Structure 1
Amino acid sequence: MSENVAGAAGPDLPGKSVAASRTTLSHIMTATDTNLLGTVHGGVIMKLVDDVAGAVAGRHSGGPAVTASMDEMAFLEPVRVGDLVHVQAQCNWTGRSSMEIGVRVMAERWNESAPPVQVGSAYLVFAAVDEEGRPRPVPPVIPETERDRRRYQEAQIRRTHRLARRRAIMELRKNRAAEGLDDE
């Protein structure tokens, strides 16, 4: 599997295991995080997701990385004031300069010993950039466990779907423009 994975990102950089950049960010939710319903704003959770994914992308790539896209952000349960939120992330897949980061959001009551409950998940794509903001190569990710290998394969499917969706939208726009329907 390592040879196949290494070929995706380029042979020049040594690969890194998924575990090498796996990160967890924990935060207690306060009243300033809430919406009018008294639950935590989705945007607050999304910021935590982007923060931890950015840390993983920077660790994996060994330098700056920027958010290119976020997809499949799912909110499964509400988060409330006083919840201790754990945002866990890992690099699932790498290309030449891009990385898919998978994120799981868990929450538990700060004053209870019940196990955390999954409240959200997301997949983000980050692009590694140099000092001028141009794409730079990233090390290939090396999945070590069966779970890591499954996540790598699923990430490849998501990438294929993202690229196909982008091509279909660009083709539609091109056709509409050719018909004089350029409606921006």
Structure 2
Amino acid sequence: MNSKTVDQSRVIMSNIMMPEHANPSGNVHGGEIMKLMDNTAGVVACRHARTNIVTARVDSLKFLHPIRVSNVITCYGELTFVGKSSMEISVTVTVEDLSKEEPAKIALTGFFTFVALDDQGHPLQVPALEVRTEEERRSWEAAQQRYLSYKQEQKGAETKNGD
């Protein structure tokens, strides 16, 4: 199976926030943004695996800046790590107030893990990730640590539940 680069699956998706995305005071619901982030990460994972994928885990969601009705958000998604069947995608969301001459601000960040599945719903091996830049290498190493930490937690939970 051939490897693929980060660039081959990178995604940028933008949306304008409407009243149906917000509470009565005009603040966009966090769940609305999380859904858009999940969609972005899902496109990245599907581009990489070219098969059915499902969300397995969401990590480290950080809300950094409020988002209001009429703001434009842009979700930037890219692979940070690939295991045998799982893929971690970093998603950064920026927010822009189009009525002001200000640069977009980072509003949210998070990591989404997807698993590739075959037609029977079993995990399916995906292409390896070809890391080309120093930044990609640093992201890979940090993601690999999260992956190994999660695996260790799972092992501990299985041991605890098996007692």
TM-score calculated relative to the size of structure 1: 0.84
Paired residues, number: 163
Is 1:52 aligned to 2:29, yes or no? no
Give 1:16's aligned amino acid: K
Distance (whole Å) between structure 2 residues aligned to residue 99 and residue 121 of structure 1:
17
Match of 1:155 among 112, 118, 143: 143
Give 2:13's aligned amino acid: L
Give 2:40's aligned amino acid: V
Match of 2:110 among 122, 131, 144: 122
Q: Is the 8 A contact 1:68 1:126 kept in 2?
A: yes
Question: What percentage of residue pairs aligned between the two structures are identical?
Answer: 35
Give 1:110's aligned amino acid: L
Larger mean Cα displacement after TM superposition, 40-49 or 123-132: 123-132
Match of 2:78 among 83, 87, 90: 90
Specify the alignment match of 2:93 in structure 1.
105
Distance (whole Å) between structure 2 residues aligned to residue 134 and residue 101 of structure 1:
21
Distance (whole Å) between structure 2 residues aligned to residue 61 and residue 25 of structure 1:
19
Specify the alignment match of 2:122 in structure 1.
134
Deviations 1:98-145 (A, max 9, x none): 101111011101233321100101111101112222211100111211
Residue 120 of structure 1 aligns to a residue in which SS? strand
TM-score calculated relative to the size of structure 2: 0.95
Match of 1:143 among 117, 127, 131: 131
Bigger CA radius of gyration = 1
Deviation for aligned residue 1:38 = 2.5
Distance (whole Å) between structure 1 residues aligned to residue 104 and residue 140 of structure 2:
25
Deviation for aligned residue 1:37 = 4.2
Distance (whole Å) between structure 1 residues aligned to residue 3 and residue 14 of structure 2:
28
Distance (whole Å) between structure 2 residues aligned to residue 102 and residue 155 of structure 1:
9
Larger mean Cα displacement after TM superposition, 30-39 or 122-131: 30-39
Specify the alignment match of 1:165 in structure 2.
153
